[in-house]
Amino acid sequence: MFFKLARNSLLNRRGTVLLTVLSIAVSILVLLGVDHIRHEAKRNFSQTVSGVDLIVGARTGQVNLLLYSVFHIGNATHNIGWRSYQHVASDPNVAWTIPIALGDSHRGFRVLGTSADFFRHFRYGQQTALTFSDGKPFAQLLEVVIGAQVAAQLGYRVGDRIVLAHGLGSTSFSKHDDMPFTVSGILQPTGTPLDRTLQVSLEAIEAIHLGWQDGVRVPGQQPDAATLAQQDLTPRSITAFMVGLKSKMATFRLQRSINEYPGEPLLAILPGVVLTELWGTLAVVENTLQIVAGLVLVASLLGMCTMLLASMQERQREFAILRAIGAGPGFIWLAIELEILLMVITGMVLAVLLLGGGILALQGFISAQWGVFISADLLHPHTGLLLLSILLGALLLGCIPALRASLLALHGKLRPG
């Protein structure tokens, strides 16, 4: 009966109530959205690379180097010479290196030129090694390994023949269609940008650029398989490389010596440190967003109170009737708080559904654009706490209209007619 009263009372004022619920839903959506995306971004970023001691590239911003080498966000302005790479790789402290050559694409997915060491040494998440759901690493020049999403979206299987394009973007005009690659393996999903990349050998990158100059095909210079075999396909430059050390003790010494390398301006970064720095830079944005989201929520809860207070005038009769049939001031208090509870919970459910639906709908787009996989699983341990405190806050704010109504009732100030 109590519930029916509150529900019907809300339905009776459905116009204003609907708007109020919507404004609550939107503000909770913003709050949860900001929180979730922050959470997901951190999870994504910190899981993308693990066990790498140094990342080396051409001199640029530290964060920039991290972003393009690991997360494939943005592009390198300069490459580094093969000789420089060889120099660092031959340092006695270095256990392994993974070269990275970016700049080509296949139907919107990035192509990563690397060496077989990539499959041997690369780690993500909690020191997880790469595994194949099918096939094996590339062994031949014109073989390619593809990420899980690439395989899923383009429907490729091991043995398929594909053509790589020069440059980025799915509508690249300059296709290297004279040299089709064979899919040699498909990686297991990793939840990192690797799912959306294709890996080939550095030599293959070199080979597909033979006969091209400044991104344009030079007529009469298309090499065939026979000439390819005779070519020297040693790369002239790469984009960056990852370094694993034998002993962590050497990290800073090696970092310094790379940064002071006389051959060309290089930059070596510690991914963990730079990631922390990145969070530091983002913290301001993050906090600002959260404060704004919080204020939006407070505003919409205040709006709800205003709505309830404004309705008090027209509802005096209603309360007078309730009083007449034996309802106490406490009942009227509870009735209003129950209305608030219903509105806020409806708002929350709406917010979670909208956010979850929105994420599901945009997931693919987001990961295609930014290589960040946002999971639709909204409920983190602290989300419940957040929602609970929103609810408590709303009920507390609701004391204003509830108190007003029950005081009116208590002092017989209600005018029935």
Does the protein bind other proteins through residue 92 (CB under 8 A)? Answer: no
Does the protein bind other proteins through residue 2 (CB under 8 A)? Answer: yes
- Which amino acid would we find at residue 217? R
Does the protein bind other proteins through residue 9 (CB under 8 A)? Answer: yes
Q: Which is nearer to other proteins, 299 or 321 (CB)?
A: 321
Could you tell me the smallest distance in angstroms from the CB atom of residue 310 to other proteins? 17
Q: Which is nearer to other proteins, 297 or 308 (CB)?
A: 308
- Which amino acid would we find at residue 77? T
CA distance 101 to 388: 49
Could you tell me the smallest distance in angstroms from the CB atom of residue 331 to other proteins? 7
With both helix axes pointing from N to C terminus, report the angle between 329-370 and 271-324 in degrees, rounded to the nearest 10.
150
Strands 216-217 and 165-166: unpaired
Single out the residue of 17, 32, 322, 352 in contact with other proteins (rule: CB under 8 A). 322
Interface region with other proteins, contact rule CB under 8 A, candidates 9-17, 76-84, 132-140, 155-163 = 9-17
Interface region with other proteins, contact rule CB under 8 A, candidates 2-10, 19-27, 259-267, 278-286 = 2-10
Question: At CB < 8 A and 24+ separation, what contacts does 349-356 make?
Answer: 350/21, 350/22, 350/25, 350/29, 351/24, 351/25, 351/26, 351/28, 351/29, 351/32, 352/32, 352/378, 354/25, 354/29, 355/29, 355/32, 355/33, 355/36
Does the protein bind other proteins through residue 173 (CB under 8 A)? Answer: no
Does the protein bind other proteins through residue 101 (CB under 8 A)? Answer: no
Single out the residue of 219, 220, 326, 381 in contact with other proteins (rule: CB under 8 A). 326
Does the protein bind other proteins through residue 329 (CB under 8 A)? Answer: yes
Does the protein bind other proteins through residue 15 (CB under 8 A)? Answer: no
Could you tell me the smallest distance in angstroms from the CB atom of residue 304 to other proteins? 19
Interaction mask 269-308, other proteins, x per CB under 8 A = ----------------------------------------
Does the protein bind other proteins through residue 407 (CB under 8 A)? Answer: no
Residue position matching structure tokens 């290589």: 371
Task: Count interface residues toward other proteins (CB under 8 A).
Answer: 29
Does the protein bind other proteins through residue 392 (CB under 8 A)? Answer: no
Does the protein bind other proteins through residue 220 (CB under 8 A)? Answer: no
Single out the residue of 229, 295, 324, 379 in contact with other proteins (rule: CB under 8 A). 324
Does the protein bind other proteins through residue 252 (CB under 8 A)? Answer: no
Does the protein bind other proteins through residue 321 (CB under 8 A)? Answer: yes
Residues linked to residue 201 through DSSP beta bridges, in sequence order = 114
Q: Which two structure tokens, joined as six digits, stand for 87? A: 């120099």
Q: Which is nearer to other proteins, 159 or 328 (CB)?
A: 328
Could you tell me the smallest distance in angstroms from the CB atom of residue 397 to other proteins? 20
Q: Which of residues 334-363 bind other proteins (CB under 8 A)?
A: 334, 338
- CA 333 from chain centre, in angstroms, equals 44
Single out the residue of 169, 330, 357, 384 in contact with other proteins (rule: CB under 8 A). 330
Single out the residue of 22, 63, 278, 320 in contact with other proteins (rule: CB under 8 A). 320
Residues 6+ apart with CB under 8 A from 115: 98, 99, 201, 202
Does the protein bind other proteins through residue 331 (CB under 8 A)? Answer: yes
Does the protein bind other proteins through residue 12 (CB under 8 A)? Answer: yes
Could you tell me the smallest distance in angstroms from the CB atom of residue 335 to other proteins? 10
CA distance 362 to 375: 10
Please give the residue ranges that form the binding site for other proteins (CB under 8 A): 1-5, 8-9, 11-12, 317-318, 320-331, 334, 338, 410, 412, 416-417
